[in-house]
Amino acid sequence: MSSSRKGDGPRIHTRLPMLRVERDISRKQLAEQVGVHLQTIGYIERGEYTPSLELGLKIAHVLGLPVEAIFSLEPFAPLDADALTSR
Amino acid sequence: MRSDTSMAPASGRTWRDRIHTQRNRRILAALYVANLVAMLLATWLVDSYWVALPFGALWVALMVLTTLSIRGITNEGSVALDEQQIAFRNAGYKDAYWIGVGVAFVGGVLMSALSDSDTVFEVGLFIGAWGIVTGLPTLIVAWTLPPEVDDEQ
């Protein structure tokens, strides 16, 4: 991943808002843990900004997940479908 | 900047919080350009250098406010910014380059065409073009930054 504004690079899909809320972490807390401004987290969540690989890995580390569980070039399948196929 | 992550609740927001909204950023950017155009018209209509003074004062105030509205990212070095701020800052300067080239070209053509006209207008034109070009990166970032988010869950 190379960092870019919306429209400047490939569209990156993210589950970050859901994963962050699941872990009861605010944008501000996540921003402080990965060393960025809280607006950066907000822009990433809304698809307005694509994070660098370094920031993506830092976010993945804080959330305790592999980076591909948070960001994807393809739209994520709905969660219920994930749950069904994993049974 | 990176450390400036504090946001007051929506109900208790100060003017410094409200200035960052996309609407207010765009209003400031539009006022900045409108003020310089008004100064240009004033120097055309009134043959006195003093007429530019209030516009100049307003220009400085609008420059400060517009810069504050984008958290000063066009004036900061990369060390003080995070990667998103650096990306928007760099894109602002890149976009400003070509617009600046256009403004400089049009300004130059006008200056040469009006070389026999009154000096006050020529000075107004020069200051107006200079004000636009120097403020362009800040204006572009103020206009293009997405709406900000609150720190709610």
By C-alpha distance, which of A36, A27, A41, A57 is closest to B73? Answer: A36
Q: What is the b/e burial string over A68-87, where b = at least 16 CB atoms within 10 angstroms of the residue's CB? A: eebbeeeeeeeeeeeeeeee
The pLDDT-based confidence of B7 (bands split at 50, 70, 90) is very low
Containing domain of residue A30, as a range? 4-86
By C-alpha distance, which of B86, B104, B100, B107 is closest to B139? Answer: B100
d(CA B20, CA B11): 15
Facing residue for A40 by CB, picked from B6, B84, B152: B84
d(CA A21, CA A82): 19
pLDDT tens for each residue of B51-101: 888 999 999 999 999 999 999 999 888 888 999 999 999 999 999 999 989
Residue owning tokens 């420059």: B63
Residue B72, phi-psi category: left (phi > 0), alpha (psi -120 to 50), beta (remainder): left
Average pLDDT of chain B, as a whole number: 85
Between B57 and A80, the higher pLDDT residue: B57
Residue A83 has pLDDT above 50, yes or no: yes
Residue A7 has pLDDT above 50, yes or no: yes
Q: In this complex, is the C-beta atom of A46 within 8 Å of any C-beta atom belonging to chain B? A: yes
**Is A6 close to B146, i.e. CB distance below 8 A?**
yes
pLDDT at residue number B103 = 84
CB contacts, 8 Å: B85 with chain A:
37, 40
Facing residue for A26 by CB, picked from B2, B6, B151: B151
pLDDT at residue number B5 = 41
**Is B84 close to A26, i.e. CB distance below 8 A?**
no
**Is A55 close to B2, i.e. CB distance below 8 A?**
no
A66: distance to nearest CA of chain B, Å?
21
Between A49 and A8, the higher pLDDT residue: A49
Q: In this complex, is the C-beta atom of A45 within 8 Å of any C-beta atom belonging to chain B? A: yes
Write the CATH number for A20: 1.10.260.40
By C-alpha distance, which of B86, B91, B66 is closest to B76? Answer: B86
pLDDT tens for each residue of B19-28: 999 999 999 9
**How many other CB atoms sit within 10 Å of the CB of residue B34?**
12
CB contacts, 8 Å: A38 with chain B:
5, 7, 149, 151
Domain count, chain A: 1
d(CA A35, CA A55): 9
pLDDT at residue number B125 = 81
Residue owning tokens 């004062």: B57
